[in-house]
Amino acid sequence: MNFASDNWAGATAEVMAALTRCNDGFAPGYGNDALTRRVTERFSEVFEREVEVWFTATGTASNSIGLAALSRPGGIVFCSADAHIHMDEWGATEFQSGGMKLVTAAADDGKIAPESLAALLAKYPTGNRFGTPVAFSLTNATELGTVYTPDEVAALAGQASAAGLAVHVDGARFGNAVAALGTRPADLTWRAGVDLMSFGGTKNGCWAAEAVIVFSPDRVQDLAARRQRAGHTFSKSRFVAAQFEAYLEADNWLRWAGHANAMADRLRQGLRQHPTARLGWESTANEVFAVLPVDSIAAVRAAGGSLYEWDSLAVDAGPGRQLVRLVTSWATTEANVDAFLAAL
């Protein structure tokens, strides 16, 4: 009954097998090995175009180094008020960029509406006296379990791009978004106007497999040097490459993410029908937000279960109740879900 986070799961058998497979003999360090090259090419196939791939240790690293590669003094990044880069990374983007500012738009269900972005762009027009907007960042799947469609991404990216901004996607749960939509990765990114993204494998079956994927190399500056001085250039790069090899092979990543989404669906369905619990809001990917009686939360925890209390201005839980976040993963089983629903 572990629903605290998708990073509580370990690695899939396929990832472990790939790690074992690559652990043979010597290979050049710092990404100059054959496996890293092969996996980079694999990313290009997945995205149906040539891409740059820069492994990092964490999603925070990918986000902050990627955005820093766009940085300018006095620079501004627009994002959602719930964005992981704003709320959960301890100023990583501000730090890596030497002081860029994140300016946020309200986004009740985690998705920035076109009119919210328009309002920000109007407030900070080109040549304004407040700072230089450099990037727009969205998270897909969002921090609130919702998903932007290719059309929605394209609409926002079009606005941002028209204002001269680079478009960044925090894809810590990108697999969940792609699996939920049944879309092509390219359609959800560069074909919709995305310039670079953080591509996360860790939450979806890897140990530590994160990368900055660059679709518009002309937009970014000195990414290799930034990653190096930030301490994110792995010497034994093949151990990341191996994880991604297994991840991307035979659409494993979409199968794993699809499973996590399906478990979340099962959970959502159970909660919708539950007499004392209810959904905080509808979501699509592997994060479920529910309003539960505090007694039920205590009962789940007493039974060894884990979940995460959540705050939201958009939900009034009411007396004796609490909003919680429940996250499923590749490792969540139907039995886990059913046991949780029973324990409520």
Task: Please choose, out of 137-145, 157-165, 229-237, 284-292, the segment that lies near a second copy by the rule CB under 8 A.
Answer: 229-237
Between 25 and 319, CB nearer to a second copy: 25
By CB under 8 A, what part of segment 296-335 binds a second copy? 306, 311, 331
Buried/exposed code over 32-51 (b: 16+ C-beta within 10 A; e: otherwise):
ebebbeebbebbeebbeeeb
Binding mask 178-217 for a second copy (x = CB under 8 A): ------------------------xx---xx---------
Q: How many residues bind a second copy (CB under 8 A)?
A: 76
Nearer to a second copy, 62 or 176 (CB): 62
The answer to whether the beta carbons of residues 59 and 198 sit under 8 Å apart is yes
Q: How far apart are CA 100 and CA 93, in angstroms?
A: 7
| Smallest separation, CB 306 to a second copy (Å) | 8
Helix then strand then coil, in percent of the chain rounded to 5, is 40, 15, 40
CB distance 205 to 243 below 8 Å: no
- How far does Cα 279 stand from its chain's mean position? 22
Q: Interface with a second copy includes 226 (CB under 8 A)?
A: yes
CB of 230 to a second copy, least distance (A): 7
Positions in 120-149 near a second copy (CB under 8 A): 123, 129-132
Q: Which is nearer to a second copy, 88 or 295 (CB)?
A: 88
From candidates 126, 228, 269, 276, binder to a second copy by CB under 8 A: 228
Q: Are 44 and 213 in contact (CB under 8 A)?
A: no
Q: Is 177 in the site for a second copy (CB under 8 A)?
A: no
- C-beta of 278: minimal distance to a second copy in Å? 24
Q: Cβ closer to a second copy: 148 or 174?
A: 174
CB 240 within 8 A of CB 208: yes
Which C-beta is closer to a second copy: that of 126 or that of 235?
235
The footprint of a second copy on residues 51-110 (CB under 8 A) is: 56-65, 72-75, 87-92, 94-102
CB of 326 to a second copy, least distance (A): 13
Is residue 165 involved in binding a second copy (CB under 8 A)?
A: no
CA distance 76 to 99: 9
| Per-residue exposure over 217-233, b if at least 16 CB sit within 10 Å of its own CB, e if not | eebbeebeebbeebebb
Interaction residues for a second copy, span 9-38 (CB under 8 A): 9-11, 16, 19-20, 22-30
Based on DSSP, count helices (H) and strands (E) in the chain, helices before strands.
Answer: 13, 11
Q: Give the count of beta carbons closer than 10 Å to the beta carbon of residue 183.
A: 18
* Backbone φ, ψ for residue 269 (5° rounding): -60, -45
